[in-house]
Chains A and B, each alone.
Chain A
Amino acid sequence: MYRGYIMVCSGPNCGVTSGRLADEFEVQIKLAGLRKEIQVIRGGCLGLCGSGPNVIIFPEGTIYSHVQNEDAARIVSEHLLKGGRVEDLLYDENQAAGAVRSLEETDFFQKQTRIALRNCGVIDPQSIEEYIARDGYAALYKALTDMTPDDVIETILASGLRGRGGAGFPTGLKWKFASGNRGKVQKYVCCNADEGDPGAFMDRSVLEGDPHSVIEAMAIAAYAIGADKGYVYVRAEYPVAVKHLGIAIRQAEERGLLGRHIFSTNFSFDLEIKLGAGAFVCGEETALMTSSKRGEPHPRPPFPAVKGLFESPTILNNVETYANICPIILNGAEWFAAIGSEKSKGTKVFALGGKIRNTGLVEVPMGTTLREIVEDIGGGIPKGKKFKAAQTGGPSGGCIPASLIDTPIDYDNLISIGTMMGSGGLIVMDEDTCMVDIAKFFLEFTVDESCGKCTPCRVGTKRLLELLNKITEGRGTMEDLERIEELAAFIKENSLCGLGQSACINCGQCIVACPTGAITTVVETDEVWAAIDNPQKHVIIQTAPSVRATLGESFGMPAGTNVEGKMAAAPRRLGFDGVYDTDFGADMTIMEEATEFMERLKTRENLPIITSCCPGWVKYCEEFYPEFLPNLSSCKSPQQMFGALAKTYYAEKKGLDPRDIVCISVMPCTAKKFELKRDHECAAGEGIPDVDIALTTRALGNMIKRAGLLFEQMPDEAFDPALGIASGAGHLFGVTGGVMEAALRTAAETLTGKELADPVFQAVRGTDRGIKEAEYEIGGALVRVCCASGIKNASQVLDAVKFGEKHYDFIEIMACPGGCVNGGGQPSQPADMRNFTDLKGLRAKALYDEDESMTLRKSHDNPLVKQVYEEYLGRPGSEKAHKILHTSYMVRNYEY
């Protein structure tokens, strides 16, 4: 058994020489004492005759080519004895064929000038040492020790660098505007990494591949304007970029290259990452700086250089702009200004995409023609097709047709031909590309990016896309063109984001689902404070069932903490004249709804009865399932029943004019704000709404904080008795299945006249299932019930009923998954909490526990309920009860 073999190629072309070569190897092997270990084999032709004679060493398979007799000794000693290789004899197929082997030899690479991308794909982005080995942090050192801040600004000005994010504003000028009052006012340096154009990923690549280049440049910028704090705003969808940037910041801090007294100077600089939710609009600079509140553009002036982040002078530059700073400082302004065209200096990174051979990232000097980019660097169009157009500038840009392919690309030339530089997306189209497809592509983008709040945008862009799809599938008609024009004009006129005259059911799930809290609701706390301040007004507050299970979260208490006592105590100290419980309204709802249900059971009309406590669901029904409106219970929701009784029964008892009562509700819900403005929700007369203002749980938390109350240390107090007594059944309204259970408790005892052995209806409990079904025998009748939470589940249940697949007598629907405990008005929790904690389960448990701990567990046992019927309404379902506690619905039709 040999440990290895030497195969000497003995084909006909080099047969004689290789025969001698094999002999020579045998001699050398003997001399080396390897005769028993290595065997020489005279093999056939390898076919590599151009580089023969060839020798292959096994088992490694190393091929040596052009091997001469005198090389045998070297191969034996270097390879077989020492285990190394004879580098100069190694076979290289590429050399043999004259082919290219490395990226650096390709036209793709050689025609580029890499400044911003200098380290991408070269260094380990997680190693600050490798960055420093490529002269990293030398520019910062030079700036801090060799240049004044004004020198730095002058250098950047002289270099002619313009913003790479799209607009092309001179970077040095931006810095100069922000440079006044150094050391006297707080300033900020920000980096815009909220790359949004379709197909553009320059910023991502720089942050992933060379994060230190941005950190170093931001420190230089901070030194130049006199800032000591910086933020990088990165899309949360760029996890690798965020990770690498985070590692890089930590490394720079450890090395003292961020932090206090950098390079032993008086300059200090800290850097933080801010995550953006990835909304397209947030890349716009004014929107970006306010996106912690709400990412909306603001008019300029004031420019950020005067009044930016936190109202302080701020400079905001794009990632690619920063990536150019260090080379300019190190090599000088003249070096940079020598690259590029007359008014656009340096290079630009483009993301090449579409019908082109080499897709990817390229960095070329400004002034490079489109033809050079497409044909030389991009390798041309595949399959020999003709160039049709190139799209630049993202959704705000335009297309460059073939007739303009020799245009040198720079900021000004692109604008003069009707498009723009944008952030650097460059999409190539060939003769087969349909321009309608391109329109479709950008429309798909807008469909995706529509925040979904307003219908013209959300639905309109979708319909527009469907029309374009129809045309591109060859099924278009002339009428479609008209419809497109009409629809496009309609969308443009009617969708100014946020005016939801729409199919939005106001559920607010978008608010609590937004990972960065970028969506907010109307905040009416100022109106509440004003009412409290007004001595004419009697201001009362009612808190919804689930609020006691969630309000504590606003103060950092664990999810599922029941804070009912503190929730009653705090509003008293805020100055409310009466602190009451919506759950009393819930008990009233049960009295009316159970009565309604029992009547329908008797007459078998309008079954199944469907609950109406959830205003999100009610609006959804009106819009999408109007055929079920007769099935809806005519009962007002607990919020509205409470308000209606407050302004009638309570007003009479207290001797108050209902116009002087201001009824504030605190709801887990944003749709409640809509509900109180519905028609027929004013029991005390036209113009006197049952409820004046619906606050969210979040808003009450904010009011308590704003008043400086220490919520956690509040004593536990009871609600005021006038409208503050509720049963455990009322508390259950806050969780899916709770209304059902409360109604069944009352219906069962009313129908049978007997007390339930166990008031718990287990099958309708729990938040883990979106649809819960059960059958109960009540008073000799079979009652089939179903509880659905989440609109998707609701529509599934309704479809099943509509098509006769399912038969129920009683359906409870809540718009939010899990019910009100998971409502759109509840305290926001961070994504990790939402993803990994059963938030709704914990909150629901607080309500179940509260119910279990009470002796008063049924609505019909509530002494306050009994009193209201005795003193005021007569009996459940009476004419007066109907007038005050019931409502009506409307069919809502939207034409898109």
Chain B
Amino acid sequence: MDEKGMVQNFDMLRAVKERALPRLDPEVGGSPRVVVGLATCGVAAGAQSVYDAIAAELEKQGLTDVLLVRTGCVGICQFEPVVEVHLPHQGKTTYVRMTPEKAVRMVDQHLLGGNAIAEYTIGARQ
């Protein structure tokens, strides 16, 4: 069955699921996953420029294995733009009220350097 093919029975459905799971879950796929909330609330708070800054910095740093993904609203609208970083074996880090500048620092220090920036996380803001 090809990548974008028809899903006509349960096996085909399971095949799509199994192919997508590594992408969705870094614990399975082994690649870091960065999701940016790009629902209306996020976009209104400036999430698109945050997304663009992350994409540019990932390219600049050659971090080709990092999966950058758009997602919907996770519910914490007062904290938008929200960026969640999920590194294999390290759980998720939720960055809140991000800016393009903070996002570049996040790529450099967290994804490249390995250190989460605590002061930008949700814990620091609560």
Contacts and interface: CB of A to CB of B under 8 A. Distances in A.
Contacts of A379: 126
A87 B89 contact: yes
Nearest to B119: A93
Contacts of A722: none
Nearest to B37: A121
A204 interface: yes
| A: contact size bracket | 35 or more
Given A90-B115, A255-B6, A362-B75, A102 B92 contact: yes
Contacts of B124: 99
B126 A100 contact: yes
A54 to B, nearest CB: 11
Contacts of B122: 100-103, 106
Contact of A141 (B10, B79, B118): B10
A353 to B, nearest CB: 9
A200 to B, nearest CB: 13
A108 B76 contact: yes
A61 B75 contact: no
B16 interface: yes
A122 B37 CA distance: 9
Given A94-B118, A210-B72, A204 B84 contact: no
A597 interface: no
B99 interface: no
B123 A133 contact: no
Interface string A55-71: 00000111100000000
Contacts of A33: none
A94 B119 CA distance: 9
A61 B111 CA distance: 11
Nearest to B5: A255
B26 to A, nearest CB: 13
Contact of B77 (A104, A209, A240, A360): A360
Nearest to B6: A256
A129 B75 contact: no
Interface string A89-130: 011111001011111111010001000010111111111111
A133 B29 CA distance: 13
Contacts, number: 192
Given A87-B90, A125-B70, A209-B73, A133 B20 contact: yes
Contacts of B10: 141, 145
A145 B11 CA distance: 13
A363 B74 CA distance: 11
B74 A103 contact: yes
From A145, A241, A360, residue with most partner B Cβ within 10 Å: A360
A103 B72 contact: no
A264 B8 CA distance: 6
B23 interface: yes
Contact of A62 (B7, B71, B114): B114
B44 to A, nearest CB: 10
Contacts of A92: 115-116, 118
17 contacts: A60-B114, A91-B115, A94-B121, A94-B123, A102-B91, A103-B76, A103-B82, A121-B74, A123-B71, A125-B70, A125-B72, A129-B19, A134-B24, A204-B39, A264-B8, A360-B78, A361-B73
Given A103-B92, A121-B84, 7 more contacts: A93-B115, A94-B123, A99-B124, A124-B71, A129-B16, A145-B10, A257-B7
Please provide the 9 A-B residue pairs with the shortest distance between their CB atoms, ordered closest to farther.
A209-B72, A121-B74, A93-B118, A100-B123, A129-B20, A133-B20, A361-B75, A256-B6, A103-B94
Interface of B: 4-10, 13, 16-17, 19-21, 23-25, 35, 37-41, 43, 69-79, 82, 84, 89-94, 108-109, 112-116, 118-119, 121-124, 126
Interface of A: 60-63, 85, 87, 90-94, 97, 99-106, 108, 112, 117, 119-130, 132-135, 137-138, 141, 145, 201, 204-205, 208-210, 238, 240-241, 244, 254-257, 263-264, 358-363, 379
